[in-house]
Structure 1
Amino acid sequence: MSYNPYHYPVIHQMPPYPANMVNYPIPRTYPAVDPKIFEGSVKSFHQLMAQASMLLNRLGNVAFSRKLMSAAQQGKQAEVDKMIKSIGLRVPVATKFNPTDVHFILTTPPTPYNPINCCTLTVGLKWSQ
């Protein structure tokens, strides 16, 4: 028999457990429920929603929106960021835009008690066809 590089031998594998073995569920233990972190996240998210409301109120100003859209259309990310910063929001906001829509990503800032931000709120708005 000659060597064939395209021939792969068939390997017969045994099942991972004997066929007569019954599959019983494995009991699992979970840590006690502690809602403190979740409660903090809910509180922080309420603050994000208040900040998003402030953002939307400012975006409702036609002159501000026209200037923001114009800067975005010209690809001036720094100017868009500066305008959003001028609103005076107390949370970090990242702005991403394309020809049809804009997204504002609001995140909770880290605190001494929680060095990792817990929550993110994305506001997506359509501004063109």
Structure 2
Amino acid sequence: MTQLYCYPMCYCPPNSNAARQIHTIPSFAIYPSSIRQYPEVDPTLLEQSAKSMQKLMKEASLVLNKLADSKDFATKVMSAAQQSNKQEVDKLIQSTGIKSKVNTTFSPDGINMKLSSAIGGAECCYLTIALRWL
């Protein structure tokens, strides 16, 4: 916030006490936004993240197709989850052919699968699939 004395250019009535008071106004009212300096954009990481996300979506399709097309596979996943056997659930999900890191969580209502990808050792993107079974 910036303090300014009220002069005739302000909206204070002339010859009023307000004309002699200090008014606090936001800084953006003084400096137009066109003066702000923004760094140059570099879309490299965004492009890499988008490409990684495309791969994650293809892998998500593998998992979803397997669950949708194989009642036996879906039964195995649900049974392992019901027994709180996270290792078996993860193994089953990985058996669909996905290469990405996957973290599964489940509850009596359904399963969540978080597929993630990294660029240069840092997580760049992830895709969460939430499916209900109850």
Q: Normalised by the size of structure 2, how large is the TM-score?
A: 0.74
CA shift, 1:22, in A, is 5.3
Q: Report the count of equivalent residues.
A: 111
Measure the CA separation in 1 of the matches of 2:87 and 2:25.
64
* Higher helix fraction (1 or 2): 2
CA shift, 1:34, in A, is 1.4
CA shift, 1:25, in A, is 2.9
Matched, 1:47 2:60: no
User: What is the letter of the counterpart of residue 101 of structure 1?
Assistant: G
**Matched-pair contact (CA < 8 Å) for 2:2–2:25:** no
Deviations 1:31-66 (A, max 9, x none): 111111111111111111001001111112100100
Q: Which moved more, 1:28-37 or 1:48-57?
A: 28-37
1:127 to 117, 121, 133: 133
Q: 1:17 to 1:90 in 2, by over 3 A?
A: same
- Uncovered stretches (5+) of structure 2, i.e. residues with no partner: 5-21
Q: 1:63 to 1:116 in 2, by over 3 A?
A: same
Larger Rg: 2
Structure 1 segments (4+ residues) deviating >2 Å: 15-23, 25-28
Residue equivalent to 1:116: 122
Higher relative contact order (CA 8 A, sep 6+): 1
* Higher strand fraction (1 or 2): 2
Secondary structure of residue in 2 paired with 1:44:
helix
Q: Which moved more, 1:19-28 or 1:88-97?
A: 19-28
Matches within 5 A, 1:1-129: 17=3, 19-20=22-23, 23=26, 24-25=30-31, 27-60=35-68, 61-108=70-117, 110-111=118-119, 114-128=120-134
- Uncovered stretches (5+) of structure 1, i.e. residues with no partner: 1-14
